[in-house]
């Protein structure tokens, strides 16, 4: 099957090129994920990470009251990984499910480790990726505290416009930390 994902964009790093990029690309294999199919369930231990070529994926948890809370949405060219589970070999607190039919590229943890330890550029890319993830998490955490709901929604529109068209509003509302009713009101205000 042909590879339509541009791995050079995913693994963009000055130390990754030529034969190293080829080795990294060849370590991935193409998978199809059907809408509603779980990539990872709460309690399972992650064994791989996935790069999304097409489709939308949601990660979520259940809060102490049993409410389903969206923790993230993943779209084209994004890496789907449950870091705590994968790198610490612990059961995941999150579930990850396809919201649409998806095409993705998977790399198993053992293969990732082999490349990480043999290709300096891949190791540097990995450190940069994890640093960026840390910054994203911190930014989101601060925005949830400091921005009003309308501003969080507008930021979400800017960051993930494709999700708005394809995902039920209740899931977006839970991600933004607001009620479905509040999100409907905000959407009306924004469209005026």
> Of 35, 30, 47, nearest to 81 (Cα)?
47
Residue 47 and residue 130 in one domain: yes
Number of separate domains in the chain:
2
Establish if 110 belongs to a structural domain.
yes
pLDDT at 4: 77
123 pLDDT more than 60 = yes
Residue 34 and residue 103 in one domain: yes
Q: How confident is the model at residue 192 (pLDDT cuts 50, 70, 90)?
A: low
Residue 128 and residue 187 in one domain: no
Residue 54 and residue 130 in one domain: yes
On whether the CB atoms of residues 38 and 94 are closer than 8 A, the answer is no
2 pLDDT more than 90 = no
Q: Render 80-117 in DSSP notation, one character per residue.
A: E--HHHHHHT-B-SSEEEESS-EEEEEEEHHHHHHHHH
Residue 18 and residue 68 in one domain: yes
Mean pLDDT of 12-19: 94
Establish if 44 belongs to a structural domain.
yes
135 pLDDT more than 60 = yes
Triad 103, 9, 54: Cα angle to 5°: 15
> Of 149, 145, 142, nearest to 190 (Cα)?
149
Establish if 141 belongs to a structural domain.
no
Mean pLDDT of 23-46: 98
Triad 174, 161, 177: Cα angle to 5°: 15
How do beta strands 68-74 and 57-62 pair? antiparallel
Mean pLDDT of 138-153: 96
Establish if 22 belongs to a structural domain.
yes
Q: Give this prediction's pTM.
A: 0.92
Residue 89 and residue 171 in one domain: no
On whether the CB atoms of residues 133 and 74 are closer than 8 A, the answer is no
Domain coverage including residue 178: 147-191
* Distance, CA of 51 to CA of 77 (rounded, Å): 6
On whether the CB atoms of residues 42 and 92 are closer than 8 A, the answer is yes
């Amino acid at each position: 099957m042909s590879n339509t994902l541009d791995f050079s964009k995913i693994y963009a790093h000055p130390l990754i090129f030529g034969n190293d990029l080829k080795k990294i690309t060849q370590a991935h294999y193409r998978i199809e994920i059907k809408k509603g199919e779980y990539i990872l369930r709460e309690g399972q231990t992650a064994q791989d990470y996935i790069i999304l070529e097409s489709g939308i994926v949601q990660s979520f948890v259940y809060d102490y009251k049993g409410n389903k809370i969206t923790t993230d949405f993943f779209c084209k060219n994004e890496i789907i990984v449950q870091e705590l589970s994968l790198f610490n070999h612990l059961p995941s607190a999150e579930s990850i499910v396809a919201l649409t039919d998806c095409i993705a590229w998977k790399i198993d943890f053992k293969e990732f480790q082999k490349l990480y330890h043999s290709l300096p550029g891949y190791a540097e890319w990995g450190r940069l990726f994890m640093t960026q993830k840390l910054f994203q998490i911190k930014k989101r955490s601060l925005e949830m505290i400091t921005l009003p709901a309308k501003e969080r929604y507008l930021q979400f529109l800017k960051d993930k416009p494709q999700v708005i068209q394809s995902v039920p509003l209740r899931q977006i509302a839970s991600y933004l930390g607001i009620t479905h009713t509040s999100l409907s009101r905000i959407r009306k205000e924004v469209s005026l």
